[in-house]
Amino acid sequence: MGFLDTFFNTDVMLRVFPMLIAGLKNTLLLAVTTLIIGSIGGIILCILRLYAPKPLAYGAVAIIDIFRALPILVVLVLVYYALPFMGVRLSSFTSAVFALALVLSAFTAEVFRAGIQAIPAGQTEAARSLGMHFPAVLWKVILPQALRIATPPHTSNCVAIAKDTSLASVVAMPDLLKQATDAQALTANPSPLIAAALMYLIILWPAVRMVSLLEKRFTHAR
């Protein structure tokens, strides 16, 4: 059997295509859910770290540091396999979202912290002197500017997390990689893995290019 028949067997790819599409749908759902929850959670953690009373701020710092330090695979395994011993049982999808969102929120918090601290303190003081309450200052003055600064690195983190959704196969979630691995076992041919890799490339390559464009745009805008 030649190279093309081994790695680019179109007959095998077409035969397992429905399995791969089902896995791709699960991967996209996992990625979108994780990005939404992780981004919102990260902004909340950032605000708690910077503006909450000390006990809450220290708690936010601990969460950020721990989940930035732990490998995603370790977090996934702990959530899926360790929580049941504490009486908490989560589905493979929920476990994957929870683990990935925790990691993304930790990195998002740091990105937005850097963005907020880059804003001149005089702007906040000027807004408060005009009689604006702190929530209004945060919502109308601080976060819009921090979002502009944080968008390129945050987008890069989102792309990285979207790639790491492939780790969800470890907790038996039928994502694209899991389906491709099962298809490879059924067909005794690695072509399904190549097809899955091409699907990842088609989806994530435009996202990578978007990160580069955002970085150039915001660099020139400063």
Domains of the chain: 3-221 (1.10.3720.10)
- Examine the pLDDT at 219 and tell me if it is beyond 70: no
For the stretch 26-76, pLDDT in tens is: 999 999 999 999 999 999 999 999 999 999 999 999 999 999 999 999 999
Classify 173 as helix, strand or coil: coil
Q: What percent of the chain has pLDDT over 70?
A: 97
**CA 58/CA 49 separation, integer angstroms:** 7
For the stretch 81-102, pLDDT in tens is: 999 998 899 999 999 999 999 9
Please, which contacts does 208-215 make with residues 24 or more away whose CB atoms are closer than 8 Å? 208/159, 210/155, 211/152, 211/155, 211/156, 211/159, 214/151, 214/152, 214/155, 215/152
Q: Is the pTM of this model over 0.85?
A: yes
Based on C-alpha coordinates, what's the Rg of the chain? 21
**Residue 1: band (very low, low, confident or very high) from pLDDT cuts 50, 70, 90:** low
Classify 174 as helix, strand or coil: coil
The residue count of the chain comes to 222
